[in-house]
Structure 1
Amino acid sequence: MNIVSQKHPTRIIVFAITVAIAALLGFLIAGRQAHAESVTASSDSHIVTVHDDGVDKGFITNKPTLREALQEADIPIDPKDRTEPALDEKLVARSYQVNVYRARPVLVIDGANQFKVITSYRTGKQIAKEAGLSLHEEDIATLTTATDITETGAAEVLHVKRATKVTFVFYGKSLEVHTFARTVGELVSQKSIIPQANDTLMPAASAPVVADMKIELWRNGEQTVTVDEEVPFSTEQVKDANRATGFKEVKTAGVNGKKSVTYKITMHNGKEVKREVINSVTTEEPIKQVETVGTKVELPAGSHSDWMRAAGISEGDFGIAEWLIQKESGWNPNAVNKSSGACGLVQALPCSKLGPNWNDPVVALRWGDAYVKGRYGSWSGAYAFWSANHWY
C-alpha cells in the first residue's frame, strides 16, 4: 500500500506538465497563424523579391509602383540603373521577382574612336545602341572584362569590329553589302551564289575585298533588271510683295517620290552595251515643295531728284530725264518687259547690263546716264530721238 501511494503524486505531476506544454504549443501555433493572417490579410499588399547583383532581398509592400516600393525598402536606384519590371510599373500581381541591373562604366573601342559610357545593359549590341553607335547586322560587338582597370578606367571593354562595306551589283540589282570576306570569291560564296559558265564576275574571285569597292556579277546576253529610283520633287514659289528681295522660306518641304523601273540590259563580255526601259511605275508620288520668296525692293530714301542726283545726272537734265523714265517704266524700279525682257527704270536690254542690282534705281539711272550720253550725246538728244521714234 505504501508503494502505490508514493507513485500517485508523480503521475499527477507528469500529467500536469504535459497539459501545460500542449497549451503552450497551441498558443504559439495560434499566434503564428494570427500573424500570418495579419500579413496576408491586406489585398493591396505585394510580396517582392529583389535580385540585385547576386544579393536577394524580400519584403512586403502596399506601395502602388515598384519605384515607391524600392524607396520604402531602402534600395537605392541610380538614374542610369535599370529594373525589370520598369520602375513606374503599377504593382497589381500578388508577388514579383525584380531584377536590378546596376549601371557601370564601359570603355567603347570603335576603330580609332574610344570613349566611355555609363550603362546598365549587359550585351554588346545593347550597349552600342545606347552609346549612339549605328551597327549593321554583320558588325560584331564583343564585351570583355578589362585586363587593367587602372588603365581603362572601366571594368569592361566593348570592342566594335566593323564589316567592310561594298557595292554588289547582282545581275543589275545594286546592293549595299557588309562583309568580313577576304576575297571577292569568298563574298560570293557567303551569299550562296554559284556563277554560271556564261557569267562574268568583276573583279576576279581572287581579288581582295576593300572598303567601298564595286563588285559586279553579270550574265552575258539580254536580261531584265528592276530597280527602285527616285522621282525628284518639283518646287512652287509663291511671291510675297511684303517680303524683301532675297527672302525665302520653305512652307512645305519637298519629298522625292519613288518609281520601279524595269530595264532590258544587253551585256557582252561583262560590259553593258545597251539599256532600254521597258516599264516604269511610280510607287510613291513626290511631294511638291512650296516656297515663299520676297519681291519687295528696299528703295533708297528720297525723291526722284534725290535718285538722279545720287546717280550723277546733271540737275539741268532732271526734267527731261524725269519725263523719259516715266515713259519707259513709270518710275517702277521692278519693271520688266514681258516680251523683250528689258528691265529696271531705264528698261535696259538685255537686263544683265545692269548687273545683279538691276532694280536699284540709282544703279539703273547711273547706267542710263552713261547710255544716253554715249549714244545721243545728251539727254536732250535722247528726248529728240524718242519724240520721233517713241523709243530711245
Structure 2
Amino acid sequence: MKHNSLIGSLLRGWWLLALVLVFALFWTAHTTAAESSEKLGGNRLVTIHDRGQEQTVVTKATTVRGALEEADIEVSKLDVTEPQIDTPLSGGHFNVNVYRARPVVVEDGVTRTQVMTAAQSPEAIARAANATLYDEDTTKLERVDDVLTDGGAGLKLSIDRATVFTLTLYGKPISARTQATTVGAMLDEKGIVLGMQDGVSLPNGTPITGGMNVSVWRNGVQTVTIEEEISMPIRQVHDTNQPVGYKQIQTPGKPGKKQVTYEINTQNGQEVARKLIQSVTNEQPTEQVEVVGARNNYSSNLNEWLAALRSCEAGGIYTRNSGNGFYGAYQFMISTWDRIAPKTGRPDLVGVRPDLASPADQDMMIVANTKLSSGGLATQNPGCYKKLGLSQFPPN
C-alpha cells in the first residue's frame, strides 16, 4: 500500500510539473508575439513565396500589390497571387504566394494546345485551354523532360476522355460517359442495380465502345423515363424600406433536372398504378435570393386602411361610376358584388349597383371580398395594393 501511495504522489508531481512547463511556454510565446508586434511599430511583416524562394519584408503597404511593389517583385497580368493582388493586408503578419504563368501543353486526344497560365489544378489549366472536362474524364499533370519537343513547355496535361455511348435506361435514351471497359463495370460505375425482372441488352463482359447503345429494361411491365424539373429553392429577404409588392431578384437561381423512371401498370389501356423505379439527378437546382418589400402602410387601423384604398380606387367617392363596368368607392364589378353579397348574409344587396349602395355597405363588402380571397388585395385590388403598400388583408 505504501508503494502504491508513493507512485501516486510521483505521478501527481509529474502532472503538476507538466502544467507549469506548458504555462511557461504559453506565456513566453505570448510575450514574444506582443513584443514583436510592438517592434513593428505599425508596420506589417509580409512573407512572400515566389519561384520556390521565400522573402520577408517589413512594410506599411495596405494591399498585396503594394507589398510586392516594395519588395521589387513584378507580377504580370497572367500571374496569380494568393490572396488576390488587391486584397487588403490585415494583422501584423501576412503570407503571399505568387504563382507564375508558364507554358503548359494540353494534350487532349490528337489535339495539342499550348497555353500560358498560372493555374495549378488540372481543371483550371483545362479551362485556360478552352477544354471542357466531364466528371468521367481523367487527367494527368506531369513535368516535361524534353522541353524542346513540346515547344519550351515545362508541364504537360494529358486528358483521358471517357467513352461516349448511349444508355437507354428503362425506355429513355441518354448520352452517357464512362471509363469502364465492359458493360458490367459500367453498370457498377453508374450505380445501376438490376432487379429480378430487369434485363440488359448486352452481356456484362461486352467491351464498351464509342457510340454503342446499352439498354436496360424491366421485363413484363411497362416503364417510362421522363425528364422532370427540380424546383429551385427560393430564399426571400424582407426589406422594410420597400413597399409590399416590391420584388427584386438579388441572386438568380435555376431549376434542376432529373431523369425519373416509373413502372406503370395498365389495364385495358388505362393506368391503374405508378411506381417510382429510379431517379437520377442530372443537374442540381441553385438557390434564388429575392428581396421583397415588407413595408405595410395603414395596417393597424381599419378606417385608415379603407380610406387609403377608396382614395386610390375612386378618389374617395362612394358614388363613382367610372363608365367602364366598375362602380363605387372600391370599383366593384357587378358580378363580383352579386357573388359576394349572399356570402356576407346580405342577399338583399344582390342586384344593387355598388355605387348606389350606402357607404357602410360598400365598406362592409370590400372587407368581405378581401377576406374571402386567398390573395387578398394582391389579387382583388392589385394596383392600389402595390402603389400604397397596403397590408394584404384588412386590419382586425
Q: TM-score range by the shorter chain?
A: 0.3 to 0.5
TM-score, scaled to structure 1: 0.48
Rg larger for: 1
TM-score, scaled to structure 2: 0.47
